[in-house]
Amino acid sequence: MRSTHGDGPAGRAPATRARRAVRAAGLVAVAAAAACGGPDRATRVVIPRGPFRAATDSLAAAGVVRFAPGFRFFARWRGLDRSIKAGTYVFPAGAGWTDVLQALAEGRGLERIVTIPEGLPLERALPLVARQLDLPLDSLVAATRDSALVARAGAPNGTLEGYLFPDTYRFPSDATGPIVVEQMLERFERAWSAAMLARLDSTGMTRHQVLTLASIVEEEAVVDSERPVIAGVYRNRLKRGMPLQADPTIRYALRKYTDRVLFRDLKVNSPYNTYARKGLPPGPIAAPGQKSLEAALWPAPVPWLFFVAHPDGHHEFTRTFAEHSAAIRRVRAEAARRAAEARARAAAGPATATTATRTPDPA
């Protein structure tokens, strides 16, 4: 005998009502979850390309979404589960499901990676940042002169030249000029370890002066092991009251960022002309990296007062001006020989040029 429960209209009605009740309860639960805040702090999440389930799994693993099945249902209900953009996102603390889903659909909060190399002055670093983040250059320039940030850094020149640490940064796509500059300043502050701050007290120099010296070392050094030696030479010159005669400061004064400094360049009327003026220049000429900062704090105890760069970038260090003059002649002779060899290889044709062996550098 057939049961009447669950067969005819009278039998199906209780089951239908039950399903509707479960669905309604689910929607209420989803709405409640969507209204709840996400992580307790800003969280970075990589959203992969592929099915929406992979995205929700990443969000759940990071703690941005605490109930992945509910979030998937919510996204389908909103019709946005097929509209998300892959990439690395930064979600602010307390982000609800609506905010998270909207950010994924619009690509809002996507991170952009910017690498600032060591040794760039602000006028070269800021355009690089502006291009990569699609920011107005004026907003970045203004932020580097913001009185609150300048006071926080303790920069006496009214600008953050040298105080924005060279590094690889991750910025959200909606980052503003002030946010970008403040983050770079924070990275500079973190670069100063407790040991470095303790060492600062024994150098007889302010942090600004150490930073200025480090920026010159950054511009002079090619070989890492020479950074403390170059810093030692400059410290020796400072102690003796000799001008630093640092070519990078001349380039900075002229805003002439080329390898060669000509004799006529040395006549530039600028406080950054370390040929004409003794002591350190008024401030950094570029953003030094960690190794140059440490070299300025821990210069090598060397007897040298002069150095000259060889074509391959390493330096020859000497005690006296006579020795320095002889080193310059050797370097020029070496550069002339290499140029002649290069011309000879070019004249001989590609076949000879590719089989030519390199003449070892003199010891």
| Domains parsed from the chain with CATH numbers | 39-109 (3.30.1490.480), 111-191 (no CATH), 205-302 (no CATH)
Cα distances (angstroms) measured from residue 313 to each of 55, 231, 330: 49, 16, 14
**Burial zone of 152 (CB within 10 Å; 0-12 exposed, 13-18 middle, 19+ buried):** middle
Q: Which residues pair with 111 in a beta bridge?
A: 172
The type of residue at 12 is R
Question: How far apart (Å, rounded) are the C-alpha atoms in residues 110 and 130?
Answer: 16
- Strand, coil or helix: 336: helix
Q: What is this structure's pTM?
A: 0.72
pLDDT in single tens digits along all 363 residues of the chain: 433 333 444 444 444 443 444 344 444 444 444 444 455 567 888 888 888 888 898 898 988 888 888 888 998 898 888 888 888 888 887 788 888 888 888 877 677 889 999 999 999 999 999 998 989 999 999 999 999 999 999 999 999 999 999 999 988 777 899 999 999 999 999 999 999 999 998 999 999 999 999 999 999 999 999 999 999 999 999 999 999 999 999 999 999 887 788 899 999 999 999 999 999 999 999 999 999 999 999 999 999 999 999 988 899 999 999 999 999 999 989 888 888 888 888 888 765 443 333 333 333
- Strand, coil or helix: 81: coil
Question: How far apart (Å, rounded) are the C-alpha atoms in residues 70 and 76?
Answer: 10
pLDDT of 292: 98
User: How many residues can be counted in the chain?
Assistant: 363
Cα distances (angstroms) measured from residue 118 to each of 189, 191, 221, 291, 293: 16, 13, 11, 10, 11
pLDDT of 85: 83
pLDDT of 352: 45
Question: How far apart (Å, rounded) are the C-alpha atoms in residues 212 and 353?
Answer: 44
Neighbours of 94 (CB within 10 A): 13
Question: How far apart (Å, rounded) are the C-alpha atoms in residues 101 and 55?
Answer: 11
